[in-house]
Amino acid sequence: MTRRLRILLFSPRHPSVSSVGVANVVSALARSWSRAGHEVRVAFPENALDDRAPSEWEGVRAVPLPAQGRAHRPKSLERSLAEGLAEEARDRTDVVLANNEYGAFLPSRRTGGSVLSVVVLHGLVLRFMQLERATRRGLRPRAGYYPDLRAVRALERSSIERADRVVAISRRVLGDAEAAYALEPARASVIYNGQPTVPPPRPEERERARAHLSASPRTRLLALVGADPYRKGLDVARAAVAKLRIEGESVRLLHVGGAPAPEEDGVVGLGRVSDPMLREVMVASDLLLLPSRYEGFPMIAQEAAALGLPIVASEASGLDLGRPGESHVEVRSNRPAEWADAVRSLLRNDAARGRIAERGRRELSGRTLEEMAGDYLRLVESQRFSNA
């Protein structure tokens, strides 16, 4: 380490909480850099603060930001947090990492400041909101919705334009940013997320998990993980399962992350589950389905691959760490018939399923959190004393 850096990061959660993908990434970066001797702060919305959450965690200082938003204008909350992050960055900060639109007001060397600002794109928020709007077809949008879509475009554009460096978590996200916001390639990098090292499941663990989920020996379990049903393609998976069941296949879809719901037509809504329960679902399942309409790079794919769970994914899932047909099966449309065909083919071919599971483990899940943190730190060190 050339010098001790004062680093500020933004997270949707307190750094000790690993509940969503971005929070996991930020916590891993903060912990790794703190262990390397840097002074690290993680700023997060005060409305995500648990009374028991410590002000310091593993050498990382937790900084709650005022979260002032109005219910009918959800993006006003993002603006408030972006302004709070910028204010925090002006004091005792050498480097700041912000996510997507939260870098909209950051001081940076590009704007005449002394802070090296890095914006990390986990997927364009603009694209996420456009998909959210698609679910409202035929409905009158709630007050503030359309202005908010314009606002998030402005915030995200400002964030990307002000940043000294822009990091995308996949080549797909980088391409989206270059197209939507004219991001210059010279300021951009791709750094893939890492993941915790997890123990592989043993046969007896799979048997226990299937028993707990009341799966008969002949029932094939399919997992789908995600709280946004439309973006995650739950409708596509549900229709594919219905087709398979009509054709006599004994399949059941386990949906994790949405609203809890009793089993209906072979689909069970498990709702939000604990990390141990999520592992149980994936260990018990035969395939992970990712019929997503847009992703940055789905961390659930890395987690599933590490457990040896074969993946069937849409082209829009953006699994560009792997290769379609080798590390995972790719379906190029959202037509349920094509999804049913892909699932049926894999379920009936144990050898192909095993090959894909093995290649997926190597290509999608072989990257550690330490490697990710090291890549970010090398980027920061290479830019810190160079011209912006």
Name beta bridge partners: 73: 70
Other Cβ atoms within 10 Å of 192 Cβ, number? 18
pTM for this entry: 0.88
End-to-end distance of the chain based on CA atoms, in angstroms? Answer: 21
Is 6-194+368-384's fold the same as 203-364's? yes
**How many whole angstroms separate alpha carbon 255 and alpha carbon 279?**
13
pLDDT of residue 136: 54
Cβ pair 147, 310 in contact under 8 A: no
pLDDT along the chain (388 residues), means of 10: 84 79 88 93 83 85 79 62 93 93 92 92 82 53 48 88 95 92 92 88 95 95 92 95 96 93 94 92 97 92 94 93 93 96 96 95 89 92 66
pLDDT tens sequence across 4-61 = 899 999 998 888 876 667 888 899 999 999 999 999 999 998 876 666 778 999 999 9
Q: What is the pLDDT of residue 1?
A: 47
What does residue 198 show for φ and ψ, rounded to 5 degrees? -120, 145
CATH number of 6-194+368-384: 3.40.50.2000
pLDDT at 138: 36
224: helix, coil or strand?
Answer: strand
Q: Is 379 exposed, middle or buried (0-12, 13-18, 19+ CB in 10 A)?
A: middle
Domain extents for the chain? 6-194+368-384, 203-364
Is the domain spanning 203-364 CATH 3.40.50.2000? The answer is yes
